[in-house]
Homo-oligomer: A and B are copies of this chain.
C-alpha cells in the first residue's frame, strides 16, 4: 500500500522507543505500528479489568470502562504512549465500528415479532421507565446546571431513558430466574425501551442539530423530526423485512466462505448509513438491522456450514467492542470531581436514574408478580447510556457543548453506579421474596 505522507514518520509510542532505542526510523515507516500498540494496550487492559470485574460479580463491561478510566488517568499524568489512544482518529473509527457491531448484536437478540408480541405490561413498564427518568433527568439539569441551556437539560433526561438489557439478563440467568414472569416482563420492556430510547435520542439530537444550524425550534420542525424517525424505523423494518429474506435466499447460492459475515456486516453498515442520512444516529440503523435480520432468513447459509451469525459476530465484537468502552472510559476526566458540583451532579443523576426506573413497577398490576424486582431490574443504563453520552459529546449549539467534560464524567459515573448497584439489589430482592430453595440458583 502506498505510504501517505500525512502519516509518515509518525511518532511511535515513546514506551516502545525507550525500550528499543535507535529503532525510531524503522518504526516510522509503517503508519499502523503506533495504532497496533494502542490496540494491544486496549485489548489487554480490557481483558484484565474485565476479569477483575467478573471476580467481583460485576459485568465485564464495567471492567472495560474502568480500564479506560485508569488509562485516561495515566494519560493525563503524562504516562508515555497513552495520550495518543484517546486522540487517534483510527482508534476512534475502530470504536465507532465496534459500537455498530454491538448494537447490531443487541438488535439480533430480538426480532420484530418479539417487539410486537411483548405484552401490555412490558409496554407499560417500558413507557413509564422512559417517561419518568426523562422528566427527572431534565429536572436535575434545571436544578444543578441552571447556567446551561434547555438543550443540555433535555439531553441529560435522554441519557437516563435506556435500559441495558444485557446486565439484567445476565444476573437473572445467574440466579436461575431467566424464565420467571418477572424476567419476561423485564426483558420485553427492555426491548421496547431500546427502541423508545433510540427514538428519544434521535429526536433530541435532531432538535439540537437543528438549533445548532440556526433553525429555531418550531413545532412543525419537531413533528418533521418525529416523522422522519418513525418513517425510518417503520419503513426500515417493513422494507428490510421484505427484502432481507429474499436477498439472503439469493445469497445462499453464492459460492465462497464468509458470505454470511460479509453480507450481514454490509447490511448493518448500510442501515447505519441510511440512519445517518435520515439525520439519526448510525447506531439506530445498526440496531434496526439487527431487529430485521432473523436466523430464518439465512438458514440456507447456516446449512452450508457458515455457522450461526451470532457466533460469527462474537469474535468481531470481542475485537472491536472493548475499543469503544475503553475509549469511553478514557474520556472521563477524573479531575473534574475535584469540583464538588460535578460529584454532586453524578450522585443526584444516579439517584434520579435509580428512582426514575422504580416507576416501572406501577405498570404491573397482575397479582403474584414481584414489582420491586421489576423496578430494580430496569436500573442499569450500561452500554446504551454510554452510547448516548458519547453522542452528546459530539453535539454543540452555537458555542455551547451539550455534554461538557464535567457532565460527561458525571454521566459515566451514573452509568457505572447504576450497573454496580443492580446485581446485588436484584439478588437481594429475589432471595428476600422467594422461598430459599428457589433462590439458590447462583
Contacts and interface: CB of A to CB of B under 8 A. Distances in A.
Interface in A69-104: 89-90, 92-93, 95-97, 100
A134 B351 CA distance: 71
Contact of A266 (B29, B30, B43, B251): B43
A328 B2 CA distance: 10
Contact of A54 (B50, B255, B307): B255
A16 B273 contact: yes
A4 interface: yes
Contacts of A16: 273, 277
A318 B262 contact: yes
Interface string A300-316: 00000001000111111
Given A16-B277, A273-B33, A316-B315, A2 B393 contact: yes
Interface residues of A, number: 83
A7 interface: yes
A106 B279 CA distance: 43
Interface in A21-80: 23, 25-27, 29-33, 35-37, 39-40, 43-44, 46-48, 50-51, 54-55, 60, 63
Nearest to A281: B30
B95 A30 contact: no
A61 B96 CA distance: 28
Contacts of A31: 89, 92-93, 96
Contact of A262 (B35, B44, B256, B277): B44
A216 interface: no
A338 interface: no
A276 interface: yes
B314 A316 contact: no
A48 B266 CA distance: 13
Interface string A233-271: 000000000000000000100111111011101100110
B331 A51 contact: no
Contacts of A1: 92, 95-96, 327-328, 331, 390, 393-394
A97 B94 CA distance: 11
A421 interface: no
Interface string A220-233: 00000000000000
Contacts of A48: 254
A116 interface: no
Nearest to A282: B30
Contacts of A322: 258, 262
Nearest to A52: B255
A39 B96 CA distance: 13
A257 B90 contact: no
A266 B3 contact: no
A438 interface: no
A6 B47 CA distance: 32
Interface in A117-142: none
A396 to B, nearest CB: 9
Nearest to A28: B276
A40 B314 contact: no
B259 A40 contact: no
B273 A37 contact: yes
Contacts of A344: none
Given A40-B270, A256-B50, A32 B261 contact: no
Contacts of A46: 262
A384 B33 CA distance: 20
Given A50-B256, A256-B50, A282 B32 contact: yes
A93 B32 contact: yes
A296 interface: no
Contacts of A90: 89-90, 93
22 contacts: A1-B327, A1-B331, A1-B390, A4-B89, A4-B92, A16-B277, A20-B277, A29-B209, A30-B276, A30-B282, A32-B282, A33-B273, A36-B272, A36-B282, A44-B262, A51-B256, A54-B255, A60-B256, A63-B256, A257-B314, A258-B319, A312-B318
Given A32-B100, A44-B262, A51-B256, 10 more contacts: A25-B213, A27-B276, A29-B209, A36-B100, A36-B272, A36-B273, A43-B263, A47-B251, A47-B258, A50-B256
